[in-house]
Chains A and B, each alone.
Chain A
Amino acid sequence: MSFQTRLAAKDFIVLAEMHTPKGINISRLVNDASRLKGRVDAVVIPDMDNGIMRMSALAGGVLLQQQGIETIMHMYCRDRNRMALQGDALAAHVLGIQNIIVAHSTDMSESDHSDAKPVNDLDETELIESLGTLQKGKDISGFDLDGSPDFSIGCTLAPFSSDEELAASLTAAKAQIAAGATYVVTPPIYSEEGCSELLEKTKHLGVPVIATVFLIKSLAIAQYIANSEPGAKISDDLIRRIRKSSNREQEGIKIAAETILALKENAGGVLIQTLGWEHKLPDILEAAKL
């Protein structure tokens, strides 16, 4: 069953995130993705996420579609103007990608090309609206299209570290939902503790909320996130648990699986984010009984 059908049926959605290579070696991407075939509803392909220049999401998405794996392509506004964005959206449809997440982008100053000129011709809400316009057979300037594309469109909830920031993120998400997004993807959740609060605060959005579950790969990462992200809810107990574990990698997988299980009752789905450990995705799915 396709991602769109399962989303419409309000089934629990399971997504996995996979990055394109910084280069042209696609073997890892294709191999890791092929191991997920039939086990996830779709693979999410970020574009130049975290500000790292890499192969475009469009190419990555098409590659996986060719392998028979449904993909969701990220689009955002930092690097492309309205013409390039619309052109890519049309190309994506023609090449078999029908799912788009309009994502927040890392600021250019934090990218690996910090001297580049940011574009930001449209904002995320305008991009979602313009994708809707394309679906109605027009471009942003009102010119007719020769055949219109069809997309499912999701949006992201911007990261937040305080209640004030969360309120701003929710306001932006509401605008994006009003503009045409049919589901929302949250910032990373690191453990079971973060689940209920986030779901409580996002339930009024009125669309499926897909929670991003982040795989904690090491004690150092857990400590770093706990110290640098005030809203991360990585408790001392969790850090102690990882430290005491005889197999910390496995412990991280178990924590991710527990988080997924905790989300299963009330979330619209999960997006599993492993940032470089995509080969561990089958283990996480196994541990989460998915």
Chain B
Amino acid sequence: MITAERKPLEELIEYIKPFKRILLLGCNECVTVCSAGGRKEVGLLASGLQMAMLKSGNNIEIRQHTLERQCDPEYVEELVPMINDADAVMSMACGCGVQEIAMRFKDKPVFPAVNTTFMGASERQGVWAERCQGCGNCLLGETGGICPIARCAKQLMNGPCGGSVTGKCEISDDVDCAWQLIWDRLKSLGLEERYMEITPAKDWRSGGGSGPRKIIREDLAE
């Protein structure tokens, strides 16, 4: 999933200060799963903003709404009847959702309420970790299902480096050395010889090196 974290309240107040009527939008997808911008968080933020604004003597009107999927134009259309009642929109979706709103409602100021962080997985309750950087050319089949692009601090293709100590990365004892994990996994799969193969320098074109990427599925595109 795409993970996100809510921005500090002070930053959000600065965004909405000039406006009286705010449409606060949540998204039912990734940001709901990582508890950053779903229906519940929309409610909490609305109360927080109301209280902070009242404290400073400003009365604002906040309308709450959570879309099924904010990165999908089909669902964004649902905002048409309510958009004119808002001076500005604050979106708790990931950056994709915020941009979709900005693109659809060109004359409406749109502000992000979360920092979109990474593509990751839940490690345990309340903890998410980065797993994928969307490099466009998946290597997991070669590296035992562990990604050196997302999980090695140096994105080494032929690791580990000298900073790998007892399975941990030199940047922090909290970070596993991805190449130690790769080695352990290849070993348990009986594929140690694969580790000895030298991987050539990565082609970054598919990873955004050639600019913004787009997928066009001829079988589906209208």
The interface of chain A, by Cβ under 8 A from chain B, is: 107-109, 114-118
For residue B200, which residue of chain A has the nearest CB? A115
B75 at the interface (CB under 8 A from A): no
* Residues in A neighbouring B202, C-beta threshold 8 A: 115, 117
Chain B residues in contact with chain A, CB under 8 A?
A: 201-205, 207, 209-211
**CB < 8 Å neighbour of A109 from B201, B207, B210:** B210
> Judging by beta carbons under 8 Å apart, are A114 and B207 in contact?
no
- Taking the closest CB of chain B, its distance from the CB of A35, in whole angstroms, is 39
Closest to A114 in B: B205
B211 touching A115, Cβ below 8 Å: no
Nearest CB of chain B from residue A162's CB, rounded to whole Å: 20
Q: What's the least CB distance linking B51 to chain A, in Å?
A: 37
- Can you add 6 more A-B contacts, CB < 8 Å, to A114-B205, A115-B203? A107-B211, A109-B205, A114-B209, A115-B209, A116-B204, A118-B209
> Which chain B residues lie closer than 8 Å to A108 at the CB level?
209-210
Cα distance A118–B210 in the bound complex, in angstroms: 8
For this complex, 20 residue pairs linking A to B, each with C-beta atoms less than 8 Å apart, are A107-B210, A107-B211, A108-B209, A108-B210, A109-B205, A109-B209, A109-B211, A114-B205, A114-B209, A115-B201, A115-B203, A115-B204, A115-B209, A116-B204, A116-B209, A117-B202, A117-B204, A117-B207, A117-B209, A118-B209
Q: List chain A residues, Cβ under 8 A from B211.
A: 107, 109
Q: Which residues of A contact B210 (CB under 8 A)?
A: 107-109, 114
Chain B nearest CB from A116 CB (Å) reads 6
Residues of A within 8 A of B207 (CB): 117
Closest to B201 in A: A115
Complex Cα–Cα for A116 and B210 (A): 9
CB distance from A115 to the nearest CB of B (A): 4
Shortest B17–chain A CB gap in Å is 27
CA distance A109 to B209 in the complex (A): 7
Complex-state Cα separation, A213 to B211, whole angstroms: 30
* B4 → chain A closest CB, angstroms: 24
A118's closest neighbor in chain B, by CB? B209
| Closest B residue to A117 using CB positions | B204
A257 → chain B, closest Cβ, in Å? 39
**4 closest A-B pairs (Cβ-Cβ)?**
A109-B210, A115-B203, A117-B204, A117-B209
The distance from the CB of B194 to the nearest CB of chain A, in whole angstroms, is: 23
Chain B residues, Cβ within 8 Å of A117: 202, 204, 207, 209
Please give, as numbers and ranges, the residues of chain B lying within 8 Å of A109 by CB-CB distance: 205, 209-211
Q: How far is the CB of B207 from chain A (nearest CB, A)?
A: 7
Smallest Cβ-Cβ distance to B155: which chain A residue: A117
B residues near A115, Cβ cutoff 8 Å: 201-205, 209
